[in-house]
Each structure stands twice: as structure tokens, then as C-alpha cells.
Structure 1
């Protein structure tokens, strides 16, 4: 058994038969089913909030989330001998969603829609809504657009440009137009009203929904890792999943359409939600991420990985624009 979590496991009534390392965690086979032990770096209040929401989801009939388990003393946080805090949760047998497998992807997005139905009207206290709400999308886009301009100014002042910087300057104008278009779209309707409604109705997002957080089994589809759960417009989860899946599949329009159709078969979206989703997809998120990584790294040594990623971004921009056009006319107008 792993020595660093022995103290943690000893605090529970189950008997552990095997421990193996997972992604940043320890997965345990026990006489009470699979468990996962993970280091915890957030506040006790955050953990209490997560557990209250998961109790609500369970009480509404959905059991395939990684429920927190109390130890013998009824506590959810456990100390090991080095002073590190750990949580123990139920875990699931199965495999991670394969982003290249359409059936897996559609099963995952169907489960997201089901969860979104259950994660509404979670009537927790007002102070929790304020504490666990997220910065609104417009403010995030404004900040990222400002960062792109700062990177542009930095590169323009350089006497010599490397390959990454030359490609950045080549792509900058079109990407800034996309950033402006995304913000313009969000300003064309009552975005503040839509977000206020989500907060008033205690509407929750998973916060980090991607193919890594979905475990598939022949009997069920489980969703895990709610560490970033917060109150906001739920379409943000759909955006994150859709974007990441399509980036891995060269913005395959047919797959994107199937993802949308599958989600909408379970949960309908208002026109405003669809327009928010369209605006999010319009923003050049990948371009910003690559550029931001470059800007915050050592300039004396430019990673070839960043340049390769920027080349791939350029190569798939045509497909992304094709999907945006299809999305606009299929799901908005």
C-alpha cells in the first residue's frame, strides 16, 4: 500500500485490497467498491458546497457522480502524517471517454444534458451563490482580448521575429476580428438578464466538463471531478466540451451537429443561450491559449511546441469557420 495515504485509508471502515496510481490520485479496490483518494487544496467551505450539491443530485435519482465519503469520525477531510489533506470518494469501473469515438462523445454530452436538468434550482443559501459564482463571460473575453493586444505590441517592438512571432502577427488581425465579433454578439441581447436568471434560479455548471471527466461502463455513464462547479449559465459547460472535442477532431461539422442534436434531445436551449454558445465558439480561444503560453514563458527559449500548435490552429481555422456558419444557421436562425 502507498505509505503516503495509509493514514487516510486507516480512517475508513472499508478494507483495501489494491492501490494503483491514477491521474493525480490513488485508485483503490475495496470490499465496498472502488474508491479514489486525492489531495485536496481548496477550502472546507468549498468541499461542503460540493457535497451538498451532490446530495441534491443523488436525491433527484442520479447516482453516477463521485460522492464524497466521511471517515469514521464523520469528516470529509483527512490528514496524512505529512499534513497534506485528502478526500476519499466513490469511484467507477470503466474507461475514460474516447474523444475520437463518436458514440462515446454523444454518450458524454447526453449525460451532461441530464446533469444540467438536475443541477437547477439547487436552493442553497444566497451567500453560497455569491461565493461560488464565476466571472461573467464578457469580462473574461475583454481580459483576453486585452492580453492579445499586449502580446501584439510586445512582438511589434522586437527587432527580429522568430517563426512563432511571424505566424502570430500573420493571424492576429483575423483573430482580433473574431474576438470583437464574439463580444458584439454578447452585447446584442440582455446577457446580464440571462446570467441573473441563472443565478436567481440556482443554476449550476460542472465547471470543467471534458472527456477526461466521463467514465463509460456498459451499465452507466459516470461524471466525476466537480472541483470547479459554480453558479452560472450552463451553456458554458456545453461550450467547453464542444470546443475541446472539435479541436481534437479538426472541427468536424457533422460531429459538432450530432453533439448539439444529442444535447437538445434532452434539454432545450433558449435563443439567448444558443447565441451565448455561438459567441463563445466565435472567440478564438485556442489562439489566445497558445499566445498566452508563449507570452508567459521564457522569451530566451521559444518552445517548438507552441509554434506547432499555432500551425495546427491555422490549418484548422477554415474548418472552424465552416462549423460556425453551420451552427449559426442550424441552431440560431
Structure 2
């Protein structure tokens, strides 16, 4: 299987695949080609389509593709998936996987604009609501993060601790000096969050059948939403998994706080207000969201590539990530008391 074909060869490949849909477009445009993942845009009889070559295995693709079909059928705002002549959503051709979608024409959102952010948050809430009730096909590999947060927290804390040993052996380098200067405090925050999640209702809220749970996008951001005719469409569901809706919310709130370089209670409450206009959250859910925000995910993300990929990271970036974790801690402690 060769994923690095010339544009002309890629278009020949796409035309062969599209015969499975009784489509024979005269002209195709490659709009993305990154490794195996490729996107083609084309028109047929005045209708615009998007053909996507997937990078996942068939069992993993079966989970996410059928999840999108479920969300669409449940009135969720995602692109329609077209079935091939065998009535299947995934077409296998030359050991490669392809899916045909409707093309959504619209504009990107700018999450730094409050008006656009509000649209995005309400769209996320709608996505979560429409995702409930999904039963994956038997041949799909189930993706679920339910009941896993405490284990994930502890695993990340252990890696931070292990990396300290490596940093000690390389402490003559500024980046490792920076890591050592703040790791004790970061582990203290991590352990605080671990203690809080274990005391919370997390186990009760996640001990449910998968079909009663929401699906999380996991990569919800400016690049994966399209605003068209006053409707927010969610695209690129390749990382979809069963989980509490709080995972997507925590990532958005955390990124917003980092981008603003401030830990702002007003921003958090605005995001929650927009979300709850569509999908209300219980106090138990809000408490778990605050705990998840408290965990030093940002610091972990900032330093992991030094140790996992031997990638150079500046000491200022490491210290900046630690400073951010310190700044948001007091705010989140105060919020935690309010929802207790």
C-alpha cells in the first residue's frame, strides 16, 4: 500500500473508489494529503461531496464511522455519510479504507471571539446530546474512556515521577533544570486531583452501560467545526470515544485559559452557561469538571516530548506551564467549594 502517490495517481485511485457509489466525477480536488489520510472534494450533478481515505484499521474505523451515522440519524449536526453499492458506509479498496461524506460549505469559527465561542460551545452540547444511545456494530473496536480517569491521572503522575529521575541525570541542561525546579509542586497538584476524583461521584457517574453514555469528540476545536446557514456542524470524528461530556469541555476551557494567559472565573462560567442552555449539568458533573481542570494536564503536555521524543523544549516554556498550573489552582479550589 503506497500512501505517497502523485496527485494524478491519487485522483485515479479516488475515481476507482467512487465507482462503488455509481459516481464518476470529471474533476476532483485534493484538499488534504497527510500520509495515508487524504481528502478529495468533487461535484456530481450539482451536489458537492467529500471522499476521505482513512488512516485507521477497519475495526477502529467501524466504531467512529457508525458513531457519526448514529449522531446524524439522531438529528445531530454532522455531515451525512453515503453508503456504497453494497449498502456499507466504509469502502475497502486495495487494502485502504474510504468514506464518502456530504460537503458542508460554510465558515470557520474563531474561538477567541466570544460570539463564535458561544456558537461552538452550544454546538458541542448538541453534539453530546445527539450522541447518546450509540451501540457500536459487533465488528467494531470499542473506544471508551469511561471509568478510566483515576487510572489515567495516576499513570501520568508516575511518568512525571519517573522523568524526574531522568532529569536528575541530565540536570546540567537548562530544560531539565527547569523541570526539576517545579516537578515537586506539579506532583503535589496531580496528587490533590487524584484524591479529589476518588472522593467524588466519578465512579457512580461512569458505572453505566456504554449506550447510556455520551460520545466525546476529543479533538473539538476551530479546525473541526463549520458554521453554515446558522448551523454549527461538527466534522472529523476520527477520535470519537465513549466518555463523560466533561472531557471535551475541560479541553476547551483549559485551552481558553492558556490562550488568554489568565485563569478567569468569568470565562469558565460563561462557557458553562452557554453549554447548559442546551445540555444542563448536575453539580456532581461540575465538580468532576473542576477536578479535571485542576489536574496538571497542560504541564504534562508541555514536558512529555522532552522525555518521550528527546525533543528540545525551552526552559521558559516549562516554567511558564508550571506557572499557569499554579495560577489556576486557587481559582479552581474556590470553584470546587462553591459546587460542594
Normalised by the shorter chain, which TM-score bucket? Answer: 0.7 to 0.9
Measured in 2, the distance between the counterparts of 1:128 and 1:97 equals 36
Structure 2: runs of 5+ lacking an equivalent: 1-6
Measured in 2, the distance between the counterparts of 1:198 and 1:237 equals 20
What residue in structure 2 maps to residue 179 of structure 1? 190
Pairwise CA distance, 1:167: 1.3
Worse-matched range after superposition: 321-330 or 190-199: 321-330
Matches within 5 A, 1:125-204: 131-134=142-145, 136-158=148-170, 160-197=171-208, 199=210, 201-204=212-215
C-alpha change, 1:27 and 1:106, in structure 2 (3 Å) is farther
Worse-matched range after superposition: 196-205 or 254-263: 196-205
Measured in 2, the distance between the counterparts of 1:202 and 1:308 equals 40
- Coordinate RMSD, CA, aligned: 2.8
- SS of 2:82's partner is coil
C-alpha change, 1:230 and 1:269, in structure 2 (3 Å) is same
Aligned match for 1:28, one of 1, 20, 41 = 41
Measured in 2, the distance between the counterparts of 1:262 and 1:133 equals 26
Measured in 2, the distance between the counterparts of 1:318 and 1:143 equals 21
Structure 1: runs of 5+ lacking an equivalent: none
Residue 19 in structure 1 maps to residue 19 in structure 2 = no
Measured in 2, the distance between the counterparts of 1:145 and 1:41 equals 31
Matches within 5 A, 1:73-84: 73-78=86-91, 83-84=95-96
What residue in structure 1 maps to residue 3 of structure 2? none
Measured in 2, the distance between the counterparts of 1:47 and 1:120 equals 19
Residue 237 in structure 1 maps to residue 251 in structure 2 = no
Aligned match for 1:59, one of 73, 76, 80 = 73
CA contact (8 A) 2:70 2:134 kept: yes
Aligned match for 1:110, one of 105, 118, 122 = 122
C-alpha change, 1:46 and 1:250, in structure 2 (3 Å) is same
Worse-matched range after superposition: 1-10 or 219-228: 1-10
Measured in 2, the distance between the counterparts of 1:276 and 1:292 equals 24
Pairwise CA distance, 1:200: 5.8
Measured in 2, the distance between the counterparts of 1:182 and 1:201 equals 26
- SS of 2:81's partner is coil
What residue in structure 1 maps to residue 237 of structure 2? 226
Aligned match for 1:6, one of 12, 27, 30 = 12
C-alpha change, 1:251 and 1:210, in structure 2 (3 Å) is farther
Measured in 2, the distance between the counterparts of 1:51 and 1:297 equals 31
TM value normalised by structure 2: 0.83
Pairwise CA distance, 1:265: 1.8
Measured in 2, the distance between the counterparts of 1:221 and 1:44 equals 29
Measured in 2, the distance between the counterparts of 1:90 and 1:329 equals 47
C-alpha change, 1:27 and 1:280, in structure 2 (3 Å) is same
Measured in 1, the distance between the counterparts of 2:256 and 2:96 equals 35
C-alpha change, 1:119 and 1:40, in structure 2 (3 Å) is same
CA contact (8 A) 1:99 1:248 kept: no
Measured in 2, the distance between the counterparts of 1:92 and 1:186 equals 40
- SS of 2:206's partner is helix
Residue 250 in structure 1 maps to residue 261 in structure 2 = yes
Measured in 2, the distance between the counterparts of 1:272 and 1:124 equals 28
TM value normalised by structure 1: 0.85
CA contact (8 A) 2:74 2:131 kept: no
Measured in 2, the distance between the counterparts of 1:242 and 1:26 equals 30
Aligned match for 1:286, one of 298, 303, 313 = 298
What residue in structure 1 maps to residue 107 of structure 2? 95
What residue in structure 1 maps to residue 4 of structure 2? none
